[in-house]
Structure 1
């Protein structure tokens, strides 16, 4: 019998991962009714990247409009927010969100944060029409999907902004500095090399500076990505 999780991972990590249909393979591998993937916050803005159906998209839209809901909590807390029975949810939490979706066919919501190192990108929102608990196995699989999707979302955002995620270190003179900076970010955040490079490029994009300038700041220890309560340390 085919492994639905493995097949979905293959679809997401293959040479031609889905673009606007990112949510489709995830929904096919998990016991949920729908999936939406969105960017949230100041870095990439509020936007639905992919949704399997109108209800999933609607859940995103309501959270964008109201500034509250499981996706906001997931990205703010940096951990999944699992609500197995939305109808029995305490009214003190997300009151406007719950009121806005009271007529939607939604019984449970599970939100997983999208992030790479210190970069908060957005959230992956799963819903079920029935109230149900997400098992530990499916929660782990969802978190694995969110990790892969985080990289795909950031990669696509940089491409749309006119940046080339594959071009880091391509010039003769910048390669050594960028390579060294990548190694330092890798150590600071315990990330694989490709994600460490994305963090450098994303910070350059967000601050309106060049990748070379960011790399030089990292190597000269003016910029440290180690996660602290105060955020990224920039001593420039």
Structure 2
């Protein structure tokens, strides 16, 4: 993968996040790409909390980002403190420990393809107006097409992804493949085992995957 292409993709992520911040009454934004050689990759987080909310949902495998991806519709939580969070109880508890007062998640879709997801949070509680939602929908449509074009460009490149870059989430998928080989289950089961181990050990999914890739952690020894 050419370094120029990676830089362009990262710049696209920053531009997309900035467009939401400029147009909507929100505090922070995060953008993740789905599919292609990128698999599931965070391209932009405008601040620390945006990155934490995105990473936490990925680690736990639950949260509004996943609901938005599955339903292909926005998930709007205008009152974080009043919402039940019954569909994502573990993430909900963690969310309540942050300063986020509202959370808005928009899936990026093109036709039948899930391209990515944008997560927005605000320090101020309250819903987005109808005009805000119209703007968000337009921004999401444009972001989806831009991201798709960039992903297709990356697909044509052959340089490997450098470890430690914004695209290092590929290592999570490599670790999932190793666990799959160790356990003989499905890819979904393997990723669930990684998430469960990370949660139980108080670690992150990324650190758990690093242990698998370095062969310090072997799930074949934990079954049977």
TM bracket (short chain): 0.5 to 0.7
Checking the alignment, whether the CA contact within 8 Å between 1:86 and 1:107 is kept in structure 2 is yes
Query: Residues of 2 paired with 1:120 and 1:39: CA distance?
Result: 9
Corresponding residue SS for 2:14: coil
Residue of structure 1 in register with 2:156 after alignment: 162
Shift of 1:50: 1.5
CA RMSD of aligned residues (A): 2.2
Are the structure 2 counterparts of residues 118 and 93 from structure 1 closer, same or farther at C-alpha, using a change threshold of 3 Å? same
Residues of 2 paired with 1:148 and 1:100: CA distance?
A: 31
Equivalent position SS for 1:87? coil
Give TM-score scaled by structure 1 length: 0.58
SS class of match (2:26): coil
Q: How far did residue 154 of structure 1 move?
A: 1.4
SS in 2 for 1:90: coil
1:128 and 2:122 aligned: yes
Structure 1 residue 109 displacement after superposition: 0.5
Question: Larger Cα Rg: Structure 1 or Structure 2?
Answer: 1
Between the aligned partners of 1:120 and 1:84, the Cα distance in structure 2 is 24
Alignment of 1:61-80 (within 5 A): 61-80=55-74
> How far is the alpha carbon of 1:25 from its aligned partner?
2.3
Alignment partner of 1:145 out of 139, 143, 151: 139
Q: Is the 8 A contact 2:80 2:96 kept in 1?
A: no
Which of 1 and 2 has higher RCO (CA within 8 Å, sep 6+)? 2
- From 5, 9, 12, the counterpart of 1:19: 12
- Between the aligned partners of 1:70 and 1:91, the Cα distance in structure 2 is 9
| 1:34 paired residue number | 28
| Inter-partner Cα distance in structure 2 for 1:83 and 1:55 | 16
Structure 1, unpaired ranges of 5+: 1-16, 164-236
TM-score (norm 2): 0.61
